[in-house]
Amino acid sequence: MSLPETLMTRLHAAPAGEAEWLTEKRRAGAAHFETVGFPTRREEAWKYTDMSRLSSIEFGQADSAELDQARFDALKLDIDACRLVFVDGMFNAELSDLDKLPEGVAVTSLSQALENDQHAVSEQFGRITDIDFSAFTALNTALTGEGAVVTIGKGQAVETPIYLLFISRNNAAPVMSHPRILVRCGSESEATLIEHYAGEQGAANLTNVVTEIDMLPASRLSHYKLQEASQSEYHVASLQVDQKRDTNFTSHNLNLGGAVVRNDLISDLNDENATVDLLGLFFGQDRQHIDNHTKVNHNAPRTYSNENYKGILDGRARGVFNGRVYIKRDAQQVLGYQNNANLLLSDRAEIDTKPELEIYADDVQCSHGTTTGQLDENAIFALRARGIDEQMARGLLTLAFANEVMERIRHSVLTDRVERAVAGKLPDRFNLESLVEDTSL
């Protein structure tokens, strides 16, 4: 497959003065990507999501991270947090705020981390997610320019969320960015990390992010990803977690924007009593395409996983869910549950769903399932009989469908974003929990 000339030039241009270990990784990533190119629907993992069109787009590279305060305020979450801000993949120190960062916790941009401690970064970069995972991880490795490095010290309980904001501007010409996020949770630590991807209306960029999370024994991490790219953007994300003994990782994967979206989320349960909860909600409308691929690897006995993804699709949107639970030989006494439920608000919306179990041990308890349906017209009638107009009734019932995932969100600002996207601004008098009970959703 031929690749755009500007992309070929960037693949072969290593930054001056860079450490040799990073240059070698870039070369390996570039070589792998040149070999495989952007994925096509001929590949099983991409059969419903064709990225080959990217090969015909000449993406540029941002030359500044400038953004005025008004545009920034319109996109950021109003949340009390330690914040790093990136604009079109470039770090913006002025808009970042680390004043509330407690002792024992380090949060820096990737460029700063490389200046301060090359050895620590080299140990983390590419250890969990390598270039063989996908063409996009190889491309990210080749072209990573910025990102975030988060280190939670041993025994630290961080109450203030760590907020990583990636803003995509409406540029004169489309740009691509390849953030790399490296997270290390020390033993017996606890923290909340928020990844937020926000695009200005009309932005037509490509964001290709790789997140590697290393969880040491007995650590706990609540991870929120809020994706609000513009409906002209490509968004690709690969997140992989290495979980040690007694760790607990909770993922809240919330996808509301983007023209074409692909999320790959992998949890490796590598020691006993490691636990993962994967909670996902994706909302597509018009011609949006949202693809979620998840995989939980039970590589050790007495590990636990629970997955619940819900999709809501309107207009001519298309969703994809592929969830795989893998249980290694001799990984006995494992509990693994997976569910995907989908709501189609239009007769032109589509969902392709494929939950999978691959089990090589005999002492396990596992289940998986999927459902797809539409709103109950009787429930809509019941709400309209109470004086609620049809649009509001449909919005309320849609939120009731999503409530099982939304009730686990611990930050109201995130819940509000989801509610506004799915149902618009609702009057305060509506109680979602009572609605769920009344309509038996």
> What is the model's pLDDT at position 393?
86
Which stretch of DSSP H or E encloses residue 409? none
**Per-block mean pLDDT, blocks of 10 residues, the chain (441 long):** 65 76 93 92 93 90 92 96 97 95 94 93 95 95 94 96 97 95 98 98 97 98 98 97 98 98 98 98 96 98 98 96 96 96 96 95 94 90 84 87 93 92 65 54 45
* Alpha-helix runs per DSSP H in 325-411: 377-384, 390-406
Distance CA 270, CA 115 (A): 32
> What is the model's pLDDT at position 122?
94
> What is the model's pLDDT at position 88?
97
> What is the model's pLDDT at position 431?
57
Angle between helices 390-406 and 412-423 (to 10 degrees): 140
> What is the model's pLDDT at position 429?
47
> What is the model's pLDDT at position 380?
86
Angle between helices 390-406 and 377-384 (to 10 degrees): 120
In terms of Cα–Cα distance, which of 57, 67, 72, 93 is closest to 198?
Answer: 72
> What is the model's pLDDT at position 59?
92
* Residues 357, 361, 367, 368, Cα dihedral to 10°: -10
Q: Tell me the C-alpha to C-alpha distance, in Å, between residue 433 and each of 39, 149, 345, 439.
A: 43, 39, 21, 10
Per-residue model confidence as pLDDT tens digits over 85-134: 999 999 999 999 999 898 999 999 999 999 999 999 999 999 999 999 99
Q: What is the pTM of this model?
A: 0.94
Distance CA 90, CA 322 (A): 32
Phi first, then psi: what are they for 398, rounded to 5°? -65, -40
> What is the model's pLDDT at position 410?
93
CB 176 within 8 A of CB 206: yes
Distance CA 106, CA 164 (A): 13
> What is the model's pLDDT at position 386?
83
Tokens of 149: 């490095």
Task: Report DSSP letters for 43-107, one per residue.
Answer: SGGGTT---GGGGG---B--S-----HHHHHHHS----SEEEEEETTEE-TTT-B-TTPPTTEEE
Distance CA 49, CA 352 (A): 11
Phi first, then psi: what are they for 327, rounded to 5°? -120, 115
